[in-house]
Structure 1
Amino acid sequence: METLTTTPFTPWASLFGGVLIGLSAVMVMGLFGRIAGIAGITNGFIGAVLPTPGAPGDRDWRVAFLVGLVAAPLALMLAGGTVQQTVPVSLGGMAVAGLLVGLGTALGGGCTSGHGVCGLARLSPRSAVAVGTFMAAGIATVFVLRHVLGA
Structure 2
Amino acid sequence: MIPQIIYPTNDSWEVVTAYDQGNGYPLLLQANYSSGMLYVLTIPDNFNDLYDLPAQALTWIKRVLNAEMPLTLEAESRIGLFLYDNDTFIVHSFLDERQLVTAVPKVTAKSIVDLHSGETIQAQARGGQTVFPIMLPPHEYRAFRIQR
Question: TM-score, normalising length from structure 2?
Answer: 0.24
Greater fraction helix: 1
Greater fraction strand: 2
